Amino acid sequence: MPAAQRVLLRSVTMWLLLLSLLLLASCLRSAAAFPKGCYPSEEEGLKTFRCSNARLTEVPRDIPNDTNKLYLDSNRIPFLPRDAFRDLPLLLELDLSHNAIAGVESGAFRGLAEHLHSLDLSSNRLVSVSKDAFSNLKAKVNLSDNPWLCDCRLQELIRTVDLVAGSSGGIVCDSSAQEEHVGKAFLQVIADTDFCNAYKKTTDIAMLVTMFGWFAMVISYLVYYVRQNQEDARRHLEYLKSLPSKQRRSEESSTISTVV
């Protein structure tokens, strides 16, 4: 082989080796940026990021922003803060099942309303969540297998979200103001009980009791005030009777004018 060809072959080989090292370093840096147990992949043409069973205690921050499917299931995440997923505008599916989520802050899913079509929050520790946490969300939501408190707040939430077909039976009353509701499916309970109407009645009664209390206080004060003035006038008249007649008539006129 001519020397020129050998030099050219050696140069090409070196460049390929250098390029391979650069690509490897880039991949290692990307892998190092992900939490332990998390990795990207592609499934059915969709960019997927899996963090299942990764012992996470919060939503990772270094999720690729072109992710379409995000799996955070079977971790130890206790809370979803505001804007937890705001940098994932292309997210279609979000799996948060089998965590320890007990609280969802209003705005936690902000930025996902346009594209997200599946949200799994089953098998967590949700007791009560404001409907505002899911405002404008069009995704099918799974809320089953949580220790729900059956009340007006849950009733408003169920009316707000679009539940996954067949998941409503898994929304069971773990606690309730009425003991007979415990252990029953929530949709079965609200077929006979309107929690929000009962809450409104309770609120109205409380307002009436409060108003009656204030009215009674005002009446009591007026009665006390009138009696106090009458007592003062009586004592003053008795005092005037003990005075000489001319001075007494003058004082009586003054007293009567004051009372009137």
**Which CATH number covers residue 186?**
3.80.10.10
User: DSSP letter at 72?
Assistant: -
In order along its 260 residues, the chain shows pLDDT tens digits of 565 555 455 655 665 555 554 454 444 444 446 888 999 999 989 999 999 999 999 999 889 999 999 999 999 999 999 999 999 999 999 999 999 999 999 999 999 988 999 999 999 999 999 999 998 899 999 999 999 999 999 999 999 999 999 999 999 999 999 999 999 999 999 988 999 985 444 444 445 445 545 555 656 655 565 566 666 666 656 655 665 655 545 555 554 444 43
Please report whether residue 253 resides in a domain. no
Please report whether residue 172 resides in a domain. yes
**Within this chain, do residues 184 and 56 fall inside the same structural domain, yes or no?**
yes
**Within this chain, do residues 222 and 177 fall inside the same structural domain, yes or no?**
no
Task: State the sign of the Cα–Cα–Cα–Cα dihedral 138, 141, 146, 149.
Answer: positive
Q: Which residues of 218-241 are buried (b: 16+ CB within 10 A; e: fewer)?
A: eeeeeeeeeeeeeeeeeeeeeebe
Q: Which residues of 13-45 are buried (b: 16+ CB within 10 A; e: fewer)?
A: eeeeeeeeeeeeeeeeeeeeebbeebeeeeeee
pTM for this prediction: 0.66
Cβ contact 139:164 at 8 Å: no
Q: What is the pLDDT of residue 23?
A: 52
**Within this chain, do residues 200 and 131 fall inside the same structural domain, yes or no?**
no
**Within this chain, do residues 150 and 42 fall inside the same structural domain, yes or no?**
yes
**Within this chain, do residues 189 and 213 fall inside the same structural domain, yes or no?**
no
Please report whether residue 246 resides in a domain. no
Please report whether residue 251 resides in a domain. no
Domain count, the chain: 2
**Within this chain, do residues 148 and 213 fall inside the same structural domain, yes or no?**
no
Which secondary structure element, helix H or strand E, spans residue 6, and what is its range?
helix 3-33
**Within this chain, do residues 60 and 181 fall inside the same structural domain, yes or no?**
yes
**Within this chain, do residues 38 and 131 fall inside the same structural domain, yes or no?**
yes
**Within this chain, do residues 165 and 198 fall inside the same structural domain, yes or no?**
no
Cα angle: 176, vertex 178, 179; to 5 degrees: 85
Residue 213 structural domain: 194-230
Cα angle: 198, vertex 203, 206; to 5 degrees: 125
Residue 172, strand partner residues: 185
Q: What is the pLDDT of residue 30?
A: 46
Q: What is the pLDDT of residue 35?
A: 84
**Within this chain, do residues 132 and 222 fall inside the same structural domain, yes or no?**
no
**Within this chain, do residues 89 and 151 fall inside the same structural domain, yes or no?**
yes
Q: What is the pLDDT of residue 121?
A: 98
**Within this chain, do residues 48 and 162 fall inside the same structural domain, yes or no?**
yes
